[in-house]
A and B are shown apart, each in its own frame.
Chain A
C-alpha cells in the first residue's frame, strides 16, 4: 500500500494541438484511501486509470507511487506496467480462460516471485475473503458473472499491491448483484484498507464506496471531496447537476429580492455580490402547491406536463415559463394528485437549493440566515 500523487498529468492521443483527454490533472490520494473517479462517459476516467497502471503513456506530468516516481515526463522516467506494484480489476474481468480460478489468483504471486504468499496460502485466504474459496478448481467459464467479478477482485488484491485500480468493475452485473458486490467490496476495503482508485459513472456507486469522490469533466477534476460534501455542497453547477440536482433556474436580483421571470421576489440565503444566480434543486426539494396554500419559499407558477407513479413517490414533470422542471413528491400529499394539464404553483426549498454564479459556474457562499441583498 502506498500513497499516490499525480501532478500536472496530461494525455493527448493526437499531436500537440489535439484536445487533451487528461488536462493538467492534480490528485493526491493518501495511503489506504478508496478514491472514486466519477464522471460522464468519455471524460477521461479510463485513460487516467490506464496512465496510473502504466498501460498508457501520459504526454506529460508526474505520477508518484509511495513517493517514487513511476512516471515523470521531465526526467523521462516511465516504469512499465509490470514493474509497478499495482492490481487492476477490468470491466471485462479479463480472467484467463485457460487457467483455473486458483491459477488465475495465484498468477500475480507467481510472476512477482512472492514465495511467502504462495507458501502461506494467500491465494486461499483472499479467495475466502471474496467468498470464492469453493470455486478454486473451476475454470472461469464455469462461473457466474458475479463470481467472475469476485475472482477478478481477488486476483487484483492478492499480491497486496501498492495500489488497486478498478475500471467500472460492477457495470456488467445486474442491478441486484451490483448492490451486493458493492457492499462486499466496501466491507473488504474497510477491513484491509488497500489504497485504490475506483472508476465509475454511477453516482450511487460512488457515494456508497468512496472515501472521497473526484468528479471529472473533460479531463479535469471539478471537485474532490468526501461523498457527503460532494452531495450537499457541490462546488460547481456541473457537479450539482451530476449529483442529481437536475432542476435549474435562473434568478435576477431586483429591488425586493431575487426573482425568476414570472415569480414573486424572494429572500435567499446567499451572500454574494452578483446580479444573477443559477439555482440548482433536487426534485425532492420542489413542492407542488394549490393556489391558496401558505407560502414558505420561492414560488413559480407552472403547468403539469406528466406524472410517473413510483410507488412511495410520484415524479411530476412540469413546465414553468418555458423551462422544464422535475418534482418528486411523496405519494398521498396533495401535490401527488396533480395531473397533466393542471396549473399549479411550484415551491422551491430555498434552504436546500444550491446557488451558483452563472459566469464562473462556481458555488456562491451561503449566508447563515436568509437575507435580501437589495
Chain B
C-alpha cells in the first residue's frame, strides 16, 4: 500500500465543489422543477388518454344530448344490449372453465413437458383476426373444412351445409371465449402459484383423486383469483370486436362495439350516436379501474398479473400434458391450419386438394401496392409507437415508484394509465377519430393518428413492464449513483437503462407484437389511404377475396411470430407471462 496516501490525508484535497455553497431556497427550486416534470407528464398522459374520451362524451351530449336520443332510438337497441351482455358472459364462462382447467393442468405438468406452460398464452400474441378467419375457414356452414369432415359422419351425411354455423351468436361466443382463455389462464396461474403445495399434497396423500383435489381443494382456495379473473373476463368480453365484426356482420348479429363502428363508417354516419352507444362500456370500464385501484388489487394491476404458470411442485400428471397439448392443437394449430390451407389453395372450397397448392396468393398479396403499404404502415406505426410509449412508460414508472410527494398527481397518473385496460379499444379508436379529424390537431388520414392510438393503448403495458423491471432491480443501484454525485438524468442514462436493458428489450418486442395485429382501434382510425394489415384483411374479407385474406393473415402471423421469437430471445422464455 502506498505511503503517499497515508501522508496525504485528503484534508486539504482540492475541493472541486467550491463556490457551490447551498443556497437558501434550494429545496423549493429543485422540487419545483421536479413537480413541473411530473405535471407535464400528467398533462401528456391526460391529453392522450383523457381527451378522446372527453371529446366523445362532449359530442354525445351536444345539441341537448342528441347523440343519446338517437342512440336510444337505434332499431333493436334492446337486442343489441342483450347480445352484448350474452357475448360478455358467455365468452367469460367459456374462458373461465378452460382457463382454470389449463392453469391447474399447467401446475401439474411433468418437468419434461414444462414448455407446454406457454401454450395457453399463445392466442394472446397471435393476431385475433387471423384466428377468427381461420375458424371461419373451418366452420363456415358451406365450405368449412371441419363441417365438410363432419358431414362424412353417418348421422350428418344427409346435410347440405353445417352442422356448425360459425356465423351465429353461440359460435361467436365460443371463439371469443378461446381468445379470453389466455387471460384467465394468466390470472388463475398467478393465484395457483400462491397456493401452498402442502394443501394439495395433503389431499393427495389423504387419497383424493386428481379431480377430487381440484374440486375440493384447488377451486375453493382459488376463489379470490377466480372472482377477479371473472371480472376481468367480463370486462374484456364486453369490449370484444373482432369476432362479432367478422362473423356477425352478414347476418346482422351486432353488438355495441360493432354498432358503434357501423355508426361511424356507414350511412348515415352519426358520430354522436356512436359516442353515446359506447357510454355503457366506458362507464363500466372506468368503474372497474377505480374499483381495482382502491380495492384489494394494490400492486397487482389487472390483466397484467405476473403469473409464472404455477411453479409450485405438485404430483405431475401425464394427463395434464395431454390436456394442454390437445388444447394447443384445437385452439391454435387447427385455425392456423385452416388459414394455411386456404392461403395455399387457388380458391376456398370444402375439399382440400394438396396437388393444387400454390404460392400464388402470397405473390398476389406482395404485388399489391395496397397490401405492401399496409404492411409497411403496420411496421412503421408499431415501431414508432414503441419508441414513444416505452420512454413514456419509463418516466411514468419512475414517478409512480417514487414513494413521497405529489400524491394527487401520482394517483391521477396511475388511474389514467390504467384506463386503456378497462375501456375497449374500439372506444379509444372512436375517440381518436373524433379528436384528430377536427382542428386544432388534424391527423386523420396520416399514420400519426394510428401511432397515437397505439401509444395510448400500450401505455398500461409499457408502464407495467417498466415498473416490474425497476421493482426487480431495486433502488440501491440508483441511490449509489446519486450519492456518488451523479445527476438524476445521468443516473437514468448510465446506470438504470443499461441495467434494465433486458426488461426494455422484452417490452419492445412484446409491445411490437401486440401492435402489429392491433385491429379494433385501427378499424376506427384508418382512412382509405392509411391502412394496417388487420384492416386490409377485413376489407378483403368483406369482398370475399378469401385466399388473399388467408395469405395476408399468414404474413401477419409471421411478422408477429418473428416478434415473439425476438421477445423470447431477449426477455427469456417466461417473457409472455409478464404481460
Contact = CB atoms under 8 A, between A and B. Distances in A.
Contacts of A77: 22-27
B27 A81 contact: no
B26 A78 contact: yes
Contacts of B17: 85, 112
Given A94-B480, A191-B6, A192-B5, A79 B13 contact: no
Interface in A66-121: 68-70, 72, 75-88, 90, 92, 94-98, 107-108, 111-114, 116
A69 B495 CA distance: 29
Contact of A192 (B10, B22, B27, B474): B10
Interface stretch (B80-88, B269-277, B483-491): B483-491
Interface string B459-483: 0000000000000001011011111
Contact of A94 (B5, B20, B477): B477
Contact of A129 (B1, B20, B24, B404): B1
Q: Chain B contact residues (Cβ within 8 angstroms of A): what range?
A: 35 or more
A81 B483 contact: yes
Given A82-B488, A85-B17, A113-B16, A94 B479 contact: yes
Interface in B488-510: 488, 490, 495, 498-499
Interface centre among B9, B20, B21 (most CB of A within 10 A): B9
A317 interface: no
A128 B2 contact: yes
Contact of B22 (A83, A95, A113, A129): A83
A81 B479 contact: yes
Interface in A138-194: 155, 159-160, 165, 191-194
A191 B1 CA distance: 11
A54 to B, nearest CB: 8
Q: Chain A contact residues (Cβ within 8 angstroms of B): what range?
A: 35 or more
B479 A76 contact: no
A97 B27 contact: no
Contacts, number: 121
Interface centre among A77, A87, A95 (most CB of B within 10 A): A77
Contacts of A54: 482-483
B483 A55 contact: yes
B211 interface: no
B73 interface: no
B205 interface: no
Interface string B1-39: 110111001110110110011111111101100000000
Given A113-B16, A192-B10, A79 B22 contact: yes
Contact of B499 (A55, A68, A97): A97
Given A55-B479, A94-B476, A98-B498, A107 B484 contact: yes
B6 to A, nearest CB: 5
A87 B20 CA distance: 18
Contacts of B479: 53, 55, 81, 88, 90, 94
A147 B25 CA distance: 42
A86 B484 CA distance: 7
A57 interface: yes
Given A70-B22, A77-B24, A192 B480 contact: no
* 4 tightest Cβ-Cβ pairs between the two chains A and B: A78-B27, A160-B10, A94-B480, A108-B484
12 contacts: A80-B30, A82-B487, A85-B485, A94-B480, A98-B498, A107-B481, A114-B16, A126-B5, A129-B5, A159-B484, A191-B9, A192-B10
